[in-house]
Structure 1
Amino acid sequence: MASPRLSEKAFKARYKQQFVDPAFEPLAQSIEQIASIAWQAYADSRKSPITRKAGPAFSDPDYDLSVDWIAAHEAVLQAQRRYEDLTVPPRLLIINGSSRSEHTCPGEMSKSFRLAEIARETIDKETKLAVEILDLSRLASEYGRNIHPCKACFSTAAPLCHWPCSCYPNHSLGQVQDWMNEIYPMWVAAHGIMIISPVNWYQVSSPVKLMMDRLVCADGGNPDPSLTQGKDAAKAKEVELAGWDYPRHLAGRLFSVIVHGDVEGAENVRHSIADWLRFMKLSPAGPGAELDRYIGYWKPYATSHDELDADETIQEEVRNAARSLAEAVVERRAGRFRQIGIGLEDPRQK
């Protein structure tokens, strides 16, 4: 493949694009100095400039681990402890998958957000469960809020894909401010997850797809980067071929999926999300927790919120999906929700 490396001139030109506002002109000399430092970090591939020794919890205690990854790892461990703590209420994670909001170009909130609010209000009003909202629209409206694309390390060898992901931040490439290190603990702490997504060109929305791809490390990923000496592909292949157990880090959690469209594709998108979750060994909360519907079918987009206002049936269906997820979570906590075959060993690993 062709090298993506930039010349110093090209790198600096691209780096300084963030300072195009004329307000920065008095600081041009300082910006040039900063750009030179950034260029050197890029030229030296200083992906993780601050590290510390892994310590005795890892296979190679002397390996230099990124402090960014260590913080993400500790957050995931804390979330897992929260998940296992029977003294606190079970937790639901409701995800608004639309990128549309009134805080940027579209000028109004999304229907997905409104459906998420209906679900949240139902849980808050009718149960004692804890609820957390993950509003993926902030990717499009909030400064410095990113989900960088998956680099597909898993396809090279499963142990090369670290749990949580160690590909980001990559300070030398400017791939920073990655939201996933906050999102991973949200998923881990949740006993039930509800994903609400619009249909975008027969697919899930862009934010949902980014999140889905970056959750690959939760399904067979390696929790010990020192085992592969970081991103040593040859070492990772050796580890996998020696026998890898493909740990399912989110197994056993329950899910609900709500997909809405305006012309076509809703059922297929619901299937794609639900199939993905099942593959990761999450369990469906029940038939009422999976829903695909059309709002304002083949009608003007300008009146789509009016169509949602008028469609009281889908609003109640969303409430029922939330109720189904909540009930399943409570039953699972009490030991009464049992899915047949869940404990069987899969003879065909990922």
Structure 2
Amino acid sequence: MAPQPRKGMPDVQLDEAEFKRRFLSQYIDPAFDTLQDELQRVADAAWRGYSEYRKSPRTRKAGPGFEESDYDLAVDWLNAREAVIAAQQRHDDTSQPLRILLINSSSRSEHTCPGEMSKSFRLAEIARHAIEAEGEIEIDPLNLSDLASEYGRKIHPCKACFSTAAALCHWPCSCYPNYAMGQTLDWMNDIYPLWVGAHGVMIVTPVNWYHTSSSLKLMIDRLVCADGGNPDPTRTHGKDAAKAKEIELQGWDYPRHLAGRLFAVVAHGDVEGAENTRRALSDWLCYMQLRPAGPMAELDRYIGYWAPYASSHDALDEDESIQEEVRNAARTLARALKAQRAGAFADPSEILRQPRQK
């Protein structure tokens, strides 16, 4: 018998009045004053969806390729799955160009409160030009600063389904969108295909309080499903925790959905933490069975060490060495990818299997 899911946390269900207060608080702009009757009707509809917990109001039968073809799956999830499958097919097609996912992980942007671009964006641009100069590689830029600067951009937090049972964590993530809870506009369904379609990934991140940026950490947590996640939600009847525990204890194969891709990492700080941040990112990527492109592809540096933040861009202008080091990290990744496609990138561990899975 599998262990039963443990229960006992405080109730989080809202009553109708509190739900509507929170729902309508989005519309305090005076522009909505003439629309109060309409907003009340919308709030009534939203309350019904919440109280009846209509997480996925639009579904269709799973169809062929699933353990239970007659099971109702969310249309949003099926569309996300199709995008991931298409990206994997592009990744595997050697007639297609090599692709690098280039991630600017800073939340800072001239389009929001800071009023200035980030150094991470500048370093990512330096890397982009270096990759372009190598030729024959396409680049997918991902600016996580859009979470703070673009309307409707969200990455909702991971709910940690994997910690209950591996099979409960679906690939791609099925926790969102959750229409009953208002947890919509989740960006990850667009981001998953970028990771899957990439042959190489380059992450440029600042150090925020001894860690990666909060934007990057949100994405990292939501990529847990890429490392051992269950590609068939019908096996667990959606989110049936008890069923998922049974499946895991029967033997789970922990599919590594991003294994074999190469990576480069650049972590830059002002005072402390760059080394540990770079190491944590490299360890995470290696644990997902991505491979470091080479020693020069992993970089941690300080820009304007203990200098005023106000002049940090000037410090980056003057530090031509880090600019060249970032170019070298990008070049290392680009050249390693070409070697990998030519069959000349050796990794003796790729045919080995870990005796213990996560």
Superposition TM-score tier, normalisation by shorter sequence: over 0.9
Cα displacement (A) at 1:127: 1.6
User: Is structure 2 residue 159 aligned with structure 1 residue 151?
Assistant: yes
Q: Identify the match of residue 71 of structure 1 among 75, 79, 82.
A: 79
2:161 is equivalent to residue 192 of structure 1: no
- Cα deviation, 1:235-286, whole Å, max 9, x if unaligned, reads 1011111111000000000000000000000000000000000000000000
Residue 303 of structure 1 is matched in structure 2 by 311
333-342 vs 291-300, greater mean Cα deviation: 333-342
Q: Match of 2:332, as an amino acid? A: S
Instruction: State how far apart, in whole Å, the 1-side matches of 2:275 and 2:80 are.
Output: 35
CA distance in structure 1 between the aligned counterparts of 2:64 and 2:100, rounded to whole angstroms: 34
Distance 1:201 1:340 in 2: 37
SS at match of 1:101: coil
Structure 1 unmatched runs, 5+: none
Equivalent residue for 1:141, pick from 146, 149, 152 = 149
2:338 aligned partner: 330
Alpha-carbon distance in 2 for matches of 1:277, 1:71: 26
Aligned residue-pair number = 350
Displacement of 1:297 in angstroms is 0.3
Q: Report the counterpart of residue 345 of structure 1 in structure 2.
A: 353
Q: Please state whether the residue corresponding to 1:317 is helix, strand or coil.
A: helix
Query: Which AA in structure 2 matches 1:309?
Result: D
**Aligned position for 1:173:** 181
Matched residue, 1:275 = 283
Distance, in Å, in 2 between the alignment partners of 1:125 and 1:132 is 15
Alpha-carbon shift at residue 125 of structure 1 (Å): 2.3
What does 1:1-350 align with in structure 2 at a 5 Å threshold?
1-350=9-358
Paired residue secondary structure (2:100): strand
Give the equivalent residue in structure 1 for 2:5: none
Q: Cα deviation per residue 1:79-135 (whole Å; 9 max; x = unaligned)?
A: 000100100111001000000000010000000000000111111123210111010
**After the TM superposition, which of the residue ranges 40-49 and 234-243 deviates more from structure 2?**
234-243
TM-score normalised to structure 1 length: 0.99
Query: Matched residues in 2 for 1:214 and 1:343: separation?
Result: 27
Deviations 1:25-73 (A, max 9, x none): 0000100000000000000000000000000110000100000000000
Question: Deviation of residue 342 (structure 1)?
Answer: 1.8
SS of the equivalent of 2:285 reads helix
> Structure 1 stretches (4+) deviating beyond 6 angstroms?
none
Percent pairwise identity: 66
Q: 1: distance between equivalents of 2:70 and 2:136?
A: 46
Query: SS at the partner of 2:349?
Result: coil
Cα RMSD (Å): 0.5
**1:342 partner SS:** helix
CA shift at 1:338, angstroms?
A: 1.2
User: How far 1:340 moved relative to its partner?
Assistant: 1.7
